[in-house]
Structure 1
Amino acid sequence: MDDDYGIVEYFYDHTGHRCGYCKSESTSLSCGMWAHRLTAGIYDDLLNRGWRRSGEYCYKPMMQKTCCCQYAIKLDVDNFQLSKSQKKLLKRVHKFLATGKRNESEKPDEKGDFCAELSGDGVVEMPDFTNKKSDVQIDLEACHLKSTEEKAANQDKKAVTCEPMDQDTGEPSVLPREETDSSTKKEAHVPKKGLGADPNKPLCRKARDIRRERWLLKQSKAGNDLNSDTTQASLSCLRKPKNEPKSLEDFLFEPLPPDAAHKLEVLLVRNSPDCPEFANSFGSALAVYFRYQQQIHKDPPEKLTERRYRRFLVNSPIQVKTVVSNEKSPEFEMTFGKSWKLFERYQMQVHKEPPSQCNRESYRQFLVDSPLQYDPKGPYSLGSFHQQYWLDGNLIAVGVIDI
């Protein structure tokens, strides 16, 4: 039987559901299907047509009817170019790894809030400035009163010290305002209109062109052939090389000092129970997910479960294909516990879910299970993966990636 096929179960229920962005109860409308098995090529075609997935559930929002429009997140890695903000972020990370220091603006506040991207489980809200309104008004009134008093004092001082006395009457004599202003003003110096560049002189030339001309003249006097390979090679050395932008690899693999304060390791783990490296980091990834949901999206702890984690971030319609049946990945098994603990802490702190909802089963269903097939053929391995970030031996973040 040909392996390049998919098995899906389409849902005909198009009624409204709760929106994770605006928190409306029945305004999120989408077409959905349960993907039991998908190849990477089929899922790529679905992405190009606006479909997304949450675990093994694939859906396409009805843009004309739904409350909050959602778009598939896809990156063309071959044509990817770093933005200015991304370059600054990579430089800050490199500085932190090398020195261990962070800027004050990068540190979390007392509530532990961090900047985050929007996701389907919540939206980052703006800070509340209503409580600071009265303080600002009081400060403005105080500043206005102070400036008024200073202005009045200056006017009184000018009236006392700047009015000359009349010698005949003994009374202050005040000059007319126009005469006073005209006596203090100086004549403005108006420069003469320029004539521009001297037409009899040659235009200003660049020093680079002058050096090149002198070198060519010197070579011609020495009797050298200007068209020879040696002369052309020497001439190319005089040309200023163009500044080429640094690539992503240049930023990622920038060397650290021998005594670096921290060590960062990034692992790409296939998110499948058959992958041992994924199973070993499952607990740590689950704890990171719990912390993120509780801190960023303010989810209650009772909402955070391993089942929810598996369904949302682990389950994938791209089915795994391996050479040996039921092959286990040692890396996944070794990090499964740490990934799950990370998911648990994330759900409890970010989404405020109870520990009972952050178990291993919820983590597997939400972020581990995937119907996407694993295809090791070709230059890239296709399927569902977990990208793990290890700082000084501790798992700090996990990203779910479909390739």
Structure 2
Amino acid sequence: MKKSKMRSEASSSSNNSNRKGETVVGDCGTCRSSCGYCKSSGRTSITHGLWAYSVTVDDYQDLLDRGWRRSGSFLYKPDMERTCCPSYTIRLRASDFAPSKEQRRVSRRMQSVVYIPRFLDGTVDVEKKSVELIKDPSTSNCNKVSSSVENNSLSHNNEENNKEEEILQFLSGQIDNAVQLCIVRGQFLSGIQLPKASVKKVSQAKRKLLVEGMENLLYTSNIAFQLAATLNRAQLAEKDVQQIRVFGQSIEDTGPSPKIIAAKLASSLIQLAETSGLSIRACNGHLNFYSAMKQASLDEDVHIGTVSKESAKTCESKGGCLKNSSEHPQAKRHKLQIRLKRSSFDPQEFELYRRYQIKVHNDKPDQVTETSYRRFLVDSPLVFVPPSGDDTVPPCGFGSFHQQYLIDDRLVAVGVIDILPRCLSSKYLFWDPDYAFLSLGKYSALQEISWVKENQTHCPTLQYYYLGYYIHSCRKMRYKAAYHPSELLCPLRYQWVPYDIARPLLDRKPYVVLSDFASLQNESSPCISENVMGCQHDDIGQGDSNDVRMDYDYDDEMLDPESESDDDEPDTETSCQTVGVEDGDISNIVIRGQGTRVRYKDIQRVFGPIQRRSLESQLRKYMKVVGAELSERMVYALGSYL
């Protein structure tokens, strides 16, 4: 057979003849590594790996729909029955997305501190937004947020009667973030349940009872008193009973006082003061929020309650009122820009990534290198497809991209994404730790969902948002299911199953054949067989989500290829992995060797018996993990066999 004819036969299997390029992969076989999720001490993460020399966007889309992901140019798929943390591909139909109350709050929070001209695929779509954060309480429309947003699909028409509650919830969330920051800094005890903050509006009647000049006091919180009581109880509980009694009397509490706690929280809320224009001060243990329209006198003390001028002066002499170090007389408006660019190395992005990994994930500085960053988040095997001018490709094209988020021209976050024929696949996000209060992880996910919906007009097949892997046994990854209504990929039959159906089963076992369970929903028997459940360990658990979509960075040095013989093949009568898997003929696999593209059936005779047996065993495993259709469409790099 002539080489030209063979190449033509291989290329004819392409999913879309209008898109140039081909998929060429080398088989890495089964690999073991340490797990980035359960942090097990051994190499308990078991995957099948492929090294991708090039991948068309159509082939990678189909690989995603068979449970594959990529880390740079390394493609990997968990061995769901054997790996420590079974990982299910999770996706969301963008048009069906129903944002939760918390997700709407994150969007409003961002809109309250910035106006948003968005830069996407080289064009500018300016969404002008006027923001009036907190008005002077003497006006008729005090304490209301007014905004005007054009063409923002994430904005919701806020009822006037709900705006006050939204502000209170926002401020309460910011105080909770400040408490967590104090815990990280070691200022508060860790490992105990602390109360949540509650912020109240100061009524005009209350303001009239305060000292003169305090009319701009808007909100207050007494969280410092609750925290002081909780921390004191926790400290006493840690002491031995014999040590807390001296001559029959209890030792006085040595924990922080409400005044000290309020001062620490006010100090931690400097960033909020800078972005919102509020003045934040700690006064006699109360955390007070003032309108920036009219500044309070700094030598007067204010706390909530019926306070006379005389008691206020007494408090002043004792130094009860602590001023926040940052006050701004006027609310400052910030500009957010979102730019989409082709995946490439950017020194500014690398510096942000380095800070993020060290401060958020506690990586050692010598671990965060330019080489590892390039390999993880810059290198991509995807063949770029430029816009075609029709309704088959979005204006930015298909391929790998970095979506940059800039506030006042400062890079604060970067989302690494793949844009494919049927989805936007989110790979990783890193952000500036100084802007953690904006919940950039949640906000970027909302923006990516919005991007999919907006670009369906350019590319109707682009309908889904892929969030990577969902690991039910890792609490850190469960936040992905909050983007509702999501669905999980069955690891055996590659059917999509609603998360609400899958969750009860995943609560019992980490590995589940989801399609079997879904088919049982219409049956009357509540019994679920072990063949459906799979056999794995109990839920191992992890910490709470930190809003980071984290697909594990597979380091070449951590991968340990297994040496498997034919005797290691699972028993077809007992392994549920073989049930329902489509059959294929390895003789149709396209082989690359010495510059040629040929079907295996046309070259199998050139191998000796031992080589042929070894190669055919490898080809069968390869076909099993990628599927018969893809194995005949992609090019298999033969490596040392030719």
Q: Which has the higher helix share?
A: 1
**What's the TM-score, normalizing by structure 2?**
0.31
Q: Which has the higher strand share?
A: 2
Which structure has the greater CA radius of gyration? 1
